[in-house]
Amino acid sequence: MTNGFPSGFTWGAATASYQVEGAVSADGRGPSIWDTFAHTPGKIADGTNGDVADDHYHRFEDDIRLLADLGLNAYRFSIAWPRIMPGGVLNQAGLDFYRRLAEACLANGVTPYATLYHWDLPQPLEDAGGWLVRDTALRFRDYAVAVHDGLSDVVKHWMTLNEPWCSAFLGYGNGEHAPGRTVGADALKAAHHLLLGHGLALDAIRTEGSTYGIALNPAPIHAASDSPADRDAARRIDGLRNRLFLEPLLAGRYPADVLEDTGTTEWFAAQEADLPLIGAPLDFMGVNYYCPTTVAAPDGPISTPGPSTQPGSENVVAVDTGLPKTQMGWPIQASGLRDILVTINKLAPELPLYVTENGSAYPDVVTADGEVEDDERLDYLRQHVAVCKDLVGEGFPLKGYFAWSLLDNFEWAWGYSRRFGIVYVDYATQQRIVKKSARWLQDLLADV
């Protein structure tokens, strides 16, 4: 063990297909819900879209070499479903792209970690009902099988879904993300169908010699005070953000209080036969961590539920605790990473865990001498890596850390107005500039 981390610890950076690839019409790719959403006026804060993004589709070889030069040994990327099955039939050219990407990783000493779904549902499936209908879970299984059959010789680490909470509640609950629907408590049906898709895919693709998991975005939920009303607000948000996903995956059940809060008990009872598939053993779990949330019951009636207008969060408000914040307005509390990892470990003590996303957005600028001095991001990473170091030193089953993100990119509903990358991207020229935070990681890994 050097510098507090074992030699086998995974150090990586992550991206997502729609956020970086561009080339949205290349080689048979079809439209996704994000193509449709981003081209709908008023949906993206800066009026942009992911048509070009970082042009990673054409520049991935250089980007992977850059990642390797920084000393990182893993690349977490997502596979675009509409490249593989734009209309339900295998598009070999799309599959071939990800083979080239994985082979480039291996040629540079980088281990590929593939995520099968990072929110870019093919638009024809959304037109047929999207994640609100059970059939989409079956189609996800078919897609997963096609990808795994085509790439399992070059990709050995797989994640089924990225942040199904976002897909369900931001996509179908409050409409902030694609497909932009607001269906109230029916968004919990989307959550179930996402988890069912995970279970069906895992059951169909699991083979010896590879590892399989899922990436969630749980967060510590704190009550603003010890009052019964505030504690109940925290219980409800913790149920929606964390327990609705962790319990079926790790304990084979849905939290009864969440279903009661949302009036979905009867519907979920009819889906009980799906739980053995959803709760099948994982090889690892990915944890995307950015910040904690503190909530309270309001002093009086409120017209806008919070903190994310998800069903079941009525009469809950987010509370500003005075912590420093990133450009996203997210409070910085590195100890929250420990809190959520420990919470998951208590549910599944032997389960290997990875931090599959961790990072921060700041308004980076290029200096006159061509540098990006992102000291705030560097400090954010330093604090969270220190938490990982402590946990590993305590014998905790934490196996890896992926910074979010390798590159500045299309940041969903914020467009290009938020930069999370450890590498700066000049979107006009596609020039990459390694930021100070990336150099810090490079120096750290030189001693690992």
Is 371 annotated as catalytic?
no
Catalytic option among 21, 126, 247, 357 = 357
CB-based burial label for 330 (10 Å; 0-12, 13-18, 19+)? middle
Is the CB of residue 190 less than 8 Å from the CB of residue 171? yes
- Residue 1 CB contacts under 8 Å (≥ 6 apart), including other chains: 7
Q: Is the dihedral of CA 372, 375, 380, 383 positive or negative?
A: positive
Rounded to an integer, what distance in angstroms lies between the CA atom of residue 144 and that of residue 148?
6
Catalytic-residue membership of 376: no
**How far apart are the two ends of the chain, measured CA to CA in Å?**
8
Q: Which residue has the tokens 């209080």?
A: 257
| CB neighbour burial string for 133-163, b if at least 16 within 10 angstroms, e if fewer | eeebbebbbebbebbbebbeebbbbbbbbbb
Task: Name the β-bridge partners of 295.
Answer: 223, 318
Q: Which of 21, 126, 163, 411 is catalytic?
A: 163
Helix (H) or strand (E) holding 285: strand 284-288
Catalytic residues: 163, 357
